[in-house]
Amino acid sequence: MTALPLPLATTSDGGRLLRFALRLDAAGSGALGVVGLAAALLLTDLLGVTANVLRGTGAFFVAYAVALVVLAAMRTISRPAAWTVVVGNLAWSAGSIVAVVAARESLTALGVGVVLVQAAAVAVFAELQWMGLRRAR
């Protein structure tokens, strides 16, 4: 698939990094969402999270992934929309750390690890998206 450039006068990479970062975020979010939806009952005891939380989070991740795919495929990527994704990802990462602290009694060691690893991955997505936005000035 050919990435279409952002409609800005000067870009050092034609918006390729931003599009790549959005698609990478979509792939990771979508995969985690599908796993949460499909295996919620199996993961409950392993992670220390209720099946309803896993299903709700999974559904959110799938919907979020679809939105990212749509955004990345747009001929013109809205800078405010891209910044919303960056800020949302940073908030999600911070919120995940707060969730680990708040749920430390119920989460298993594996659950803590999964939440912290996904928080780190989301922070990396935010960094890549931010770098993509900077290059697309």
Using one digit for the tens of pLDDT, what is the confidence trace for 48-68?
999 999 999 999 999 999 999
**The model's pTM:** 0.86
DSSP state of 6: P
C-beta separation of 44 from 55 below 8 A: no
Asked if pLDDT for residue 133 goes beyond 70, the answer is yes
pLDDT tens-digit series, residues 96-131: 999 999 999 999 999 999 999 999 999 999 999 999
pLDDT value at residue 13: 65
Q: What would the DSSP string read from start to end of the chain? A: -PPPPPS-S--SSTTHHHHHHHHHHHHHHHHHHHHHHHSHHHHHHHHT--HHHHHHHHHHHHHHHHHHHHHHHSSS--HHHHHHHHHHHHHHHHHHHHHHHHTTTTS-HHHHHHHHHHHHHHHHHHHHHHHHHHHT-
Residue 37: pLDDT band with limits 50, 70, 90: very high
pLDDT value at residue 136: 81
